[in-house]
Amino acid sequence: MKILRDPLIVFLLIGGGIFLLYSKVNPEEELDAANPDQIEITSDIQNMLVSEWSARWNRPPTPEEFKGLLDSYIKEELLFREASKLGLDQADSIIRRRLAQKMEFLTSDIVDLEDVSDETLQTFYQDNAEKYQMPTELGFQQIYFSTDKRDDAEADAAALLPSLNDGSMSFEQAVESADPTLLSPEFSTSELPLIGRQFGTEFAEALTDQTPGEWFGPVKSGYGFHLVKILERKDGHLPELATIREDVLNDYRYEQREKLNESMLEGLLEQYDVVIEPRIEEATETEETPEP
């Protein structure tokens, strides 16, 4: 049927079903039109109170605690009904926001009920492969030359490089002859973006294509210049879907919720006439009053 191809109609039908189901498992007191002043604490409501307590404290409430739960529920219901009679729920931004969130939660329930096939998830994974790409990881040593303490830190670093590569100077000797720093002379395997955040993008880019074994540089960072030796390299890769399936499934469902919310709003906007009046700006205290 054509009507069933309308996303809004489908949303309302499924949402209505979820609402009925939700009212069974999470009942809320409804006003009895015949007895508007009666508050009935049903067995379902009592079970709900016990379930909420047990979930929080990992044990059922004692008789005294259960009586406290009932008293709190009755007090809340009394205040809610009186506030409604006074119209306190009208034009309240917090209540408006909460009700809007409940409408959005309906789409979450709809999406979560979907049985996502392996084929659907694989397609989503491939379409968003860049998001799940694991970055290159590097372990390295570095020798630091300060631009604040030297007239030409870059030239000093370049002059030391041959001695490191021909073995006439050890790593420890080179560190001693360089400048003191809080930076560690040796870094365990770290993701390239993390290295970039610590040393700067230019430094990380200089390390990107280097292979382990040889000292190179000088490499500029946000601190000065460095001679660098790659100790270990793990190239970036796309992990198997099975190893991150839960993360991908959550991302898929999030995207579906966003699409369904957008579709719902588009459908609702077609049913309403939105009128935006010209805005009259309020005078602020900082505005200067013109002199007479």
CATH code of residue 162: 3.10.50.40
Query: Which residue range(s) make up the domain with 27?
Result: 2-121
Residue 197 lies in a domain: yes
User: Do residues 16 and 116 share a domain?
Assistant: yes
Q: What angle do CA 11, 119, 116 make, to 5 degrees?
A: 35
Q: Which pTM does this prediction carry?
A: 0.55
Q: Is the pLDDT of residue 196 over 80?
A: yes
Query: Burial of 3 by CB count in 10 Å (0-12 exposed, 13-18 middle, 19+ buried)?
Result: exposed
Residue 242 lies in a domain: no
Q: Would strands 215-220 and 186-191 be described as parallel, antiparallel, or unpaired?
A: unpaired
Q: Is the pLDDT of residue 226 over 50?
A: yes
CB 39 within 8 A of CB 74: yes
Task: Give the phi and the psi of residue 282 in degrees, each rounded to 5.
Answer: -80, 145
Residue 258 lies in a domain: no
What pLDDT was estimated at residue 21?
A: 47
As a whole number of angstroms, the distance between CA 29 and CA 42 comes to 8
User: Do residues 170 and 206 share a domain?
Assistant: yes
User: Do residues 107 and 39 share a domain?
Assistant: yes
Residue 128 lies in a domain: no
Q: Is the pLDDT of residue 288 over 60?
A: no
Q: Angle formed by the axes of helices 7-25 and 93-113, to 10°?
A: 100
What pLDDT was estimated at residue 24?
A: 47
Residue 176 lies in a domain: yes
Among 68, 95, 121, identify where a domain stops. 121
Amino acid at 49: L
User: Do residues 117 and 169 share a domain?
Assistant: no
User: Do residues 150 and 211 share a domain?
Assistant: yes
What pLDDT was estimated at residue 59?
A: 93
Within 10 angstroms of residue 137's Cβ, the number of other Cβ atoms is 17
User: Do residues 103 and 164 share a domain?
Assistant: no
Question: How confident is the model over 134-148, as pLDDT tens digits?
Answer: 999 999 999 999 999
Q: Is the pLDDT of residue 51 over 80?
A: yes
Span 93-113, average pLDDT? 75
Question: How confident is the model over 1-47, as pLDDT tens digits?
Answer: 444 445 555 555 555 555 554 444 444 444 455 566 788 888 888 99
What pLDDT was estimated at residue 264?
A: 79
CB 125 within 8 A of CB 241: yes
Q: Is the pLDDT of residue 130 over 60?
A: yes
User: Do residues 147 and 90 share a domain?
Assistant: no
User: Do residues 112 and 21 share a domain?
Assistant: yes
What pLDDT was estimated at residue 174?
A: 95
User: Do residues 13 and 79 share a domain?
Assistant: yes
User: Do residues 101 and 169 share a domain?
Assistant: no
What pLDDT was estimated at residue 109?
A: 65
Number of domains in the chain: 2
User: Do residues 106 and 164 share a domain?
Assistant: no
What's the chain's average pLDDT? 83
